[in-house]
A and B are shown apart, each in its own frame.
Chain A
Amino acid sequence: MKFDLETVLFISLSVLSVVSAIYMITRKNPINSALFLILNFFTVSGLYLLLKAQFIAIIQVLVYMGAIMVLFIFVIMLLNLQFQKKKLESYSYKSLTSILLAIMLFGILGYTVYFGFEGKFKGMSDKALEIGTAEKLGAELFTNYSFPFELASFLLLAAIVGAIVLAKKKFE
């Protein structure tokens, strides 16, 4: 493997994303976890750019980092969890078992994914650059995929109504 710019970017972005994910699940304070999750989303968006999916990368920054994580941080600050810090986490033999099971899951996934697709593709497709543009994706969304698009908008409407009803003070 020769070390051109793409390889260096890929290695640094993927190492950063894995490290930030590990930091995210080990932090005690939820705010720190949320900030490391934002870093992880940012690196994954860089990986999308390496895969020539520009529009998805921008949407990742806008929707995940901009909207969803702001909602998370807002809720964490709203709930003010300082007073119950010590009794929140308790580790037992259960967590050891679950870590072992997750490592086994990674073994299965990693083996299948790494050796199953080795040398199957001769590099990225020639059409990859034009597929990722907003023009191509928009044209496809409004012609072939117009029904799923409308369903998604209906899902968002239901989510708005549900969130307001669930978070209301009086629940009648």
Chain B
Amino acid sequence: MIEINYYLLVSAVLFSIGVIGVLVRRNAIIIFMCIELMLNSINLTLVAFSSFLGNINGQIFVFIVMTVAAAEAAIGLAIIISMFRNKESLNIDEINILKW
């Protein structure tokens, strides 16, 4: 029988790796994939609590998070495509016209 804190520890490790990826990498697509990794680790936490507490609400929430992730992927990749069309680059250090 595996305790809940091991599942939560795996989820925390995955979340931190996602944070490192978002902060260190400069490629917009890889940053986007790291955000998906973080969402996925949170889903793991929700499912773990859902089955250890015997409560279905956590899995419903995972369902909604997956919908949001799919919508976010579609919109974000469309933004990346139009960004690439205008700047010919995916480096987020060069996309800085809103920053001063």
Contact = CB atoms under 8 A, between A and B. Distances in A.
Given A89-B27, A159-B75, A125 B4 contact: no
Contacts, number: 236
Interface string B74-87: 11011111101000
Contact of B3 (A95, A98, A103, A118): A118
A8 to B, nearest CB: 11
Interface of A is mostly: helix
B93 to A, nearest CB: 8
Interface residues of B, number: 73
B33 A99 contact: no
A25 B26 contact: no
B44 A128 contact: no
Contacts of B69: 64, 68
5 contacts: A53-B51, A72-B29, A88-B27, A121-B52, A152-B67
Interface of A: 6-7, 10, 14, 17-18, 21-22, 24-25, 30, 33-34, 37, 40-41, 44, 47-48, 50-53, 55-56, 59-60, 63-64, 67-68, 71-72, 75-76, 78-79, 81, 84, 87-91, 95, 98-99, 101-103, 105-106, 109-110, 113-121, 123-128, 131-132, 136-137, 140-141, 145, 148, 152, 155-156, 158-160, 162-164, 166-167, 171
Interface of B: 1-21, 23-27, 29-30, 32-34, 36-37, 40-41, 43-44, 47-48, 50-56, 59-60, 62-64, 66-75, 77-82, 84, 88-91, 93
